[in-house]
């Protein structure tokens, strides 16, 4: 099965998670006025949601876009997934390079 030996699988899974969560944030209305970005939210909501998903996944947390209400729990779950997938990536890359 290649468990722990194919870092590209982890990268692919990470990209899927980021994109799916961006759609969730867009649908739930994360970008409806919860930004300090100089972009008009109505036309750039998908981009803001993607940006927020990337920042949340990598646990950077710039603070220029923030979730409100129940979306906070979703963002926390994505941050947990991001940290776990990044740890798995490091393990698989290390195993790959150790051979």
pLDDT digits (tens, 9 = 90+) for 15-69: 999 999 999 888 887 655 555 555 555 556 788 889 889 999 998 887 777 777 7
- Cα distances (angstroms) measured from residue 52 to each of 30, 39, 48, 74, 92: 9, 14, 6, 12, 26
* Residues 6 or more apart in contact with residue 65 via CB below 8 angstroms: 30, 31, 34, 35, 36, 37, 48, 51, 52, 55
> The domain that contains 59 carries what CATH number?
1.10.287.70
Per-residue confidence (pLDDT) for residue 3, from 0 to 100: 60
Task: Look up the pTM and report it.
Answer: 0.81
Note whether residue 5 is domain-resident.
no
Range of the domain at 52: 10-98
Please check whether residue 1 lies inside any domain of the structure: no
- The arithmetic mean of pLDDT across residues 71-98, rounded, is 89
pLDDT of residue 47: 85
Three-state SS letters, 41-64: HHHHHHHHHHHHHHHHHCCCCCCC
Is residue 50, in this structure, part of any structural domain at all? yes
């Amino acid at each position: 099965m290649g468990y722990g030996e194919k870092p590209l699988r982890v990268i692919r899974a990470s990209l899927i998670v980021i994109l799916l969560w961006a759609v969730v944030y867009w649908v739930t209305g994360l970008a409806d006025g919860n930004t300090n970005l100089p972009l008009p939210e109505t036309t750039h909501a998908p981009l803001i949601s993607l940006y927020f998903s990337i920042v949340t996944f990598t646990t950077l947390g710039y603070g220029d876009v923030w979730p409100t209400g129940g979306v906070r729990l979703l963002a926390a779950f994505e941050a947990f997934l991001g940290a776990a997938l990044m740890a798995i990536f490091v393990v698989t890359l290390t195993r790959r390079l150790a051979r």
